[in-house]
Structure 1
């Protein structure tokens, strides 16, 4: 069976590639200003169908989103059958197809892909797709649908929903009717799975005070609204920044990325969040979560992904031990170099901690090596993975005391509560609320598990980020030669000093992270290291901040 070249040609010609642009499929898929993505979406539709054929007709997911980016941006990423990110080797195919300059070149690349990947074109192809609330989303989905149609695949439109719901649907569709069934393949199935597990986990606990959710004026708002219906009075939620039709509101001075980067309360919550009350922020597609609270002096305190990892890890380790399963179930945490040094110290005293390069795919893959693997990036993206053998143990284990029985039941319900396909802000929020309810912690008590070392993140615009190369999970520079030694010399001058430098995965900037025992020193160290990078890597003069020393 051959490619339907005539059909592909006719529809491809309706979606010409902009001649002066080069696209790249990265950790977040394709992401750029929305108005140049028409051809990319069409080609992703064709690619998703070929991926499905390669995997014997399993359903592939496509999510149209730009997450925490400004509203004018958009993007698209593919989801593999178990709800995980696209296999890394296919990122290269995605990039090659997106950059074919003409329809003829595109068809040539497709034929090459079919041949090299040994794709049986007679196999069925199934694609499920969704989008966030961006104004550009509808037109881009239309381009995607043309790609799905061009190759004769079966498409299912999941509508406007969060990235984690789309990942959930992909896994639920592909495991339907099997031993590893993940849930009903619908939004309702998602809500039922999470809310049922949550209610069981907090059934013996006091109903908490209301939690304020900053929805980033994104797709998390309507999904959180529906979640409230399923939770009933088990968790009072107050939704803020839920204006999904207001032009320019998405991620604007609100959302998880705003909270993490500015370390401030979103201005729209001033006066809405009371001292002592818990609040949290989602990002634009609801796969990141940041918590925060105001103390009695109205001071803002951020509880980021590192704090979530600490809270959740200690709770799970305790449950595994109480259940009597600690000899069979090994729990581990995965972090990146961006994790605060104080969190790494806290976690390392309680369970194994592994550091991997930045990017969800690295964290997720490393977490799969534990029986229960926990990962949260400092930016609030993360989840907990229960291996299949571990899930089997939880089902078959016979507890010998009431305490073991209770702990075992909690672990079984956590396995249902946590969206294990991808970081999910709403699922993670329910997980945090479960732990807070069980420990009877306020935000301040949670925050006091450890004290963050002051830190600063700076970026330097350079001509070519590819000259910067790293090793040891991005904690050491190998190129430019000699720069790491200069950074080491600087770091030694600061009490509690730590700094690392890494190239961005998506733009020509180099990111500099620094920690020290007080804020003034961490700021100074960051800017001094940034100055070294600027000098060594040909920094763009327009980007030279006045703070460079």
Structure 2
């Protein structure tokens, strides 16, 4: 019986006292030194998940993304590179907090009617954090209670998603890191050839002192020249510190170690290379090109290709309440593309994007991708054009479905998609930045007695409870030109976030402060 094996392995990974863990969109995430038992138990869960889906390959990624260096985390990846289904998240939480692991594993096996003998391969990767190797060993111990483990060592999160998908779907690509590289570089070089572009794609990337640095180096070719700053993965204390996508986005400033030339495009990844933002300097002015702008650039580019190929497609952009109001207006009024809103969180955005032939979602923080439906890809492959321009556009669309990582936001593939969109359209980063003018916006945090008292509707843009507060917010917003504000509970601490937006920075700050005052009684 598995209980003996499980019991013997779990002794090596004791649960820390007085700690409670909760699995969410990002999996488990906390101080890395506290996670040994949790990662072991996630390994057990991953092998159970493999058994549940008939022995298909599952993934475990050990990362804390943009978090500080001392943090770490772990999440499970499903067979086609998707996140763990929401209905399985409580099982992860149950195991992580269990004081009787054998009984709780037996409970899940019974509830899900799992034949544990069906457990197959679980592939594992980690980012460059100091606690990564220890947690990798814990994951493997857990996986091997029921299944087989295969470690790929240091990977970007999107590479791990790619490996899971390619193990289960050989047509997706070669199931190795080299296969990922070939797929990316091959698509980029073929698109450049199609458009007779002789000059290489060239950019300087801030890699956040994370795993994106060595992985980017592996992609250099005659057609791709990347200069990397903040590439020190040996100094574990430097990860995401004064650099990286989250730092640049949050502080609206250049990362350390970057001396920019005016009007030249730069990019920043986060620690596990699933977020990307762009920016340029204009004298003393810093211009951020965030997830909203990535979405509008790629949507505009795809629209032009569809027109040239004379192919019809239902395309939509999915945003959250944090998207800048002027980006929404630009999409609807200038690009004339539908916009849908979902609650914050990639799982909500991804699900909604799947309703379109081409669904684009990019959170403002730079995490996102483009989804192409299987039916749409089939229609591209069977379409014909008698004109050279149409043939080229069709082929480019097909190659973009290969280049863009549709399983998860991928800094590397998104980087190349943006560079190609700019180069093919002969568009400068300054012109990109002038597509629309962002409304001034600001995010506030208010500590409250009970964050669960704040309930929202309309994709988190309106408060339902506490009763009457939304009407007060509406009255305040009405006093400001292009005013907008919403309140939503934090997912991690006893606080609420207040977002404000208005035509001027002064109005934006004042509106946000006044909404914060409304919350003082709570």
Same fold, TM-score > 0.5, yes or no: yes
CA distance in 2, matches of 1:277, 1:16: 51
Which residue in 2 is equivalent to 1:195? 185
| Cα RMSD (Å) | 1.2
**CA separation in 1, counterparts of 2:469 and 2:278?**
36
Cα distance in 1, alignment partners of residues 517 and 70 from structure 2: 32
| Residue deviations 1:526-548 (CA, integer Å, cap 9, x gap) | 22212222x132xxxxxxxxxxx
Do structure 1's residue 508 and structure 2's residue 494 form an aligned pair?
A: yes
**Secondary structure at 1:242 match in 2:** coil
Query: Is residue 481–residue 503 contact of structure 2 (8 Å, CA) maintained in 1?
Result: yes
Question: 2:431 matched to which residue of 1?
Answer: 445
Provide the residue aligned with 1:313 in structure 2. Answer: 299
Q: Which residue of 2 aligns with 1:541?
A: none
Q: Would the aligned equivalents of 1:208 and 1:236 in 2 still touch at CA under 8 Å? A: yes
* Cα deviation, residue 440, structure 1: 1.2
Other-structure match for 1:536: 521
**Residue in structure 2 matched with residue 474 of structure 1 by the alignment:** 460
Distance 1:422 1:486 in 2: 39
Aligned residue runs from structure 1 range 112-127, under 5 A: 112-127=107-122
Question: Which of 208, 216, 219 is equivalent to 2:211?
Answer: 219
Q: How many residues align?
A: 518
For the 8 Å contact 1:198–1:430, the answer to whether it is kept is yes
Question: In the aligned structure 2, how far is the partner of 1:531 from the partner of 1:236?
Answer: 51
SS of 2:238 mapped into structure 1: coil
Q: Distance in 1 between matches of 2:450 and 2:14?
A: 28
Structure 1's consecutive aligned runs of 4 or more residues displaced over 3 angstroms after TM superposition are none
Asked whether 1:207 is paired with 2:199, we answer: yes
SS of residue paired to 2:397: helix
The CA deviation string for residues 45-96 of structure 1, in whole angstroms up to 9 with x for no partner, is 1000000000000111000000000000000000000001110000111111
- For the pair 1:139 / 2:148, whether they are aligned, the reply is no
1:303-452 equivalences in 2 (<5 Å): 303-326=289-312, 329-349=313-333, 350-452=336-438
Give how far 1:7 is off: 0.7
* Selected match of 1:278 from 238, 262, 265: 265
- Whole-Å separation in 1 of the counterparts to 2:419 and 2:208: 20
- 8 Å contact 1:65–1:285 — kept in the other structure? yes
Indicate the residue corresponding to 1:173 in structure 2.
167
Distance 2:133 2:392 in 1: 47
Equivalent position to 2:174, from 184, 203, 228: 184
Aligned to 1:253, the other structure's residue is in SS state coil
How many Å apart are 1:209 and its aligned residue? Answer: 7.0
Asked if the contact 2:306–2:393 (Cα under 8 Å) also holds between the matched residues in 1, the reply is: yes
CA contact (8 A) 1:308 1:376 kept: yes
> Structure 1, residues 439-464: CA drift from partner, whole Å, max 9, x if none?
11111100111111110011123343
- The correspondence of residues 87-98 of structure 1 with structure 2, limited to 5 A, is 87-98=85-96
- Give how far 1:208 is off: 5.7
Select 1:498's aligned residue among 438, 460, 484: 484
For the Cα contact (< 8 Å) 1:208–1:437, is it kept in 2? Answer: no
Which residue among 253, 262, 266 is the counterpart of 2:255?
266
Counterpart of 1:546 in structure 2 is none
Alpha-carbon offset, residue 276 of structure 1:
1.4
The 8 Å contact of residues 281 and 290 in structure 1, kept in 2 or not, is answered as yes
C-alpha contact 1:288 1:423 (8 A) present in aligned 2: yes
Residue 422 of structure 1, CA deviation: 0.2
Unmatched tracts of structure 2, length 5 or more:
none
Match of 1:9 in 2: 7
Whole-Å Cα distance in 2 between the matches of residues 5 and 80 of structure 1?
A: 25
C-alpha distance in structure 1 between counterparts of 2:447 and 2:18, whole Å: 22
Please tell me whether the aligned partners of residues 27 and 505 of structure 1 are also in contact (alpha carbons under 8 angstroms).
no
- C-alpha distance in 2 between matches for 1:208 and 1:443: 17
Q: Secondary structure at the match of 1:113?
A: helix
- SS in structure 1 opposite 2:93? helix
Unpaired segments ≥5 residues, structure 1? 538-549
